[in-house]
């Protein structure tokens, strides 16, 4: 049955009819739209933050202001609501200029401008409605230098349980070039985020965030996904997501030993304290197979044959597929997540690409270098 998730009353009625014991809200839009508040008010257990707490993803300015209040390491910034103020503020920054539409923009709200002229043009576009309502306010940030990695934690608003690390590949083409995408592949764990760095991320970023949100009356419940820049001064927050991340979720789930429902219910009920998340000591790596045209307009409807892709223990997650007259076809930008595990990134990568190579998908493509940073480090040790 198709359910319109923007119709909160319909979702609540559905949950009552089917006696639903837990709702897990995956994407950011229904979180920012307050679906979790509506369900909680109807006494339906929900995994996912309230509308107020989902601002950590829904408003870049909200998160930057929170970092400033709580002393959380992040890029210096200015938050402005007018083009004139934004243009004036540019003088306080060096190129490259990092400009962000405040609201949700499906991963497209960030512009990195090399020159002042490009920065002014991007600001005019943001304030001119180029990003819809998301651009009513703009954050201008200092450019941070370093390697990016992601860190995940579950929280019920008070207790916090680390959920491991991952590294995504945002650019569409090999070698990290071309336009940004939602993510073309990921692996977990990300060894660049050493145990020492993870301890710093917990102490300097995650814990003060959860504490400050709670103290300010917006307890955050669900998964916190911290996008980090590992700078020479230490890890700094780039942004938060209020969800597991795609394709980070796929690699984290491949490693999870716990019963996922039990830990999500513990979060939903405020009973997370004492829970431990056990992740297999293996690397999981996923390669996104996308439809040609992505991240622009994808070529929909192309035939896919999975063949024996899962024969050697690989797992193919479907992201944008459909069945047409009983046959599998592409039905979105990112179509499949071909995922494998191994003792190292190198081994997981080899297994994932062996599975990719078994799949027939003429109108699709993928990057061939997912995990390259870590594969290079493994080769040099
Ligand atoms: P975001 O949507 O905030 O994650 O930004 C998208 C991408 O832009 C990030 O993954 C980084 O590669 C880059 N980025 C964002 N903010 C900064 C910054 N302050 N310095 C350098 N790169 C950044
Ligand atoms: N892969 C990045 C995200 O889900 O936001």
Q: What is the pTM of this model?
A: 0.95
pLDDT tens digits, residue range 108-167? Answer: 788 899 999 999 999 888 888 877 777 688 999 999 999 999 999 999 999 999 999 999
317 CB near ligand 1 (under 6 Å):
no
170 CB near ligand 1 (under 6 Å):
yes
Given pLDDT bands bounded at 50, 70 and 90, which one contains residue 180? confident
Given pLDDT bands bounded at 50, 70 and 90, which one contains residue 1? low
| Residue nearest to ligand 1 atom 15, measured at CA | 238
227 CB near ligand 1 (under 6 Å):
yes
pLDDT tens digits, residue range 43-77? Answer: 999 999 999 999 999 999 999 999 999 999 999 99
Cα 229 to averaged position of ligand 1 atoms, centre (Å): 8
Atom of ligand 2 nearest to the CA of 249: 4
Q: Which ligand is nearest to the CA of 239?
A: 1
73 in Cβ contact with 236 (< 8 Å): yes
Atom of ligand 1 nearest to the CA of 170: 10
C-alpha distances out from residue 353 to 100, 141, 334, 349, Å: 35, 37, 17, 6
Beta strands in the chain (DSSP E): 23-24, 46-47, 77-80, 97-101, 110-113, 138-141, 147-155, 160-168, 171-173, 177-180, 185-188, 222-231, 234-241, 283-291, 315-318, 321-324, 327-330, 334-342, 364-365
Cα 148 to averaged position of ligand 2 atoms, centre (Å): 13
Tokens for 24?
A: 């897990």
Q: Which ligand is nearest to the CA of 182?
A: 2
Can you give the pLDDT at residue 128?
Answer: 84
């Amino acid at each position: 049955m198709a359910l319109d998730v923007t119709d909160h009353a319909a979702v609540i009625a559905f949950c009552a009819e089917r006696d639903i014991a837990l709702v897990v809200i995956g994407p950011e839009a229904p979180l920012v739209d307050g679906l979790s508040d509506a369900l909680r008010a109807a006494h339906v257990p929900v995994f996912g933050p309230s509308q107020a707490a989902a601002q950590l993803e829904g408003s870049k300015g909200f998160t930057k202001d929170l970092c400033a209040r709580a002393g959380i390491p992040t890029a210096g910034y200015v938050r402005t609501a007018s083009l004139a103020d934004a243009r004036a503020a540019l003088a306080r920054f060096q190129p490259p200029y990092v400009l962000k539409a405040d609201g949700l923009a499906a991963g497209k709200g960030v512009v990195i401008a090399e020159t002042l002229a490009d920065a002014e043009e991007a600001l005019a576009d943001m304030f001119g409605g180029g990003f819809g309502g998301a651009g009513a306010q703009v954050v201008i940030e200092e450019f941070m230098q370093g390697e990016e990695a992601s860190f995940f934690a579950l929280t019920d608003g008070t207790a916090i349980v680390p959920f491991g690390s991952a590294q995504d590949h945002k650019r569409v083409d090999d070698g990290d070039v071309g336009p940004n995408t939602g993510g073309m592949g990921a692996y977990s764990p990300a060894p660049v985020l050493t145990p020492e760095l993870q301890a710093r991320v917990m102490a300097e970023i995650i814990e003060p965030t959860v504490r400050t949100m709670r103290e300010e009356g917006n307890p955050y419940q669900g998964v916190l996904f911290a996008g980090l820049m590992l700078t020479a001064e230490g890890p700094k927050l780039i942004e938060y997501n209020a969800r597991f991340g795609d394709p980070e979720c796929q690699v984290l789930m491949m490693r999870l030993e716990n019963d996922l429902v039990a830990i999500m219910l513990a979060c939903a009920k405020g009973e997370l304290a004492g829970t431990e998340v056990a992740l297999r000591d293996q690397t999981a790596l996923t390669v996104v197979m996308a439809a040609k045209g992505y991240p622009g307009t994808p070529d929909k409807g192309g035939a896919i044959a999975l063949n024996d892709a899962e024969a050697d223990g690989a797992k193919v997650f479907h992201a944008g597929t459909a069945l047409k007259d009983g046959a599998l076809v592409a039905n979105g930008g990112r179509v499949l997540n071909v995922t494998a595990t191994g003792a190292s990134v190198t081994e997981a990568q080899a297994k994932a690409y062996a599975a990719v190579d078994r799949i027939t998908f003429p109108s699709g493509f993928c990057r061939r270098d997912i995990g390259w940073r870590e594969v290079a480090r493994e080769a040099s040790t």
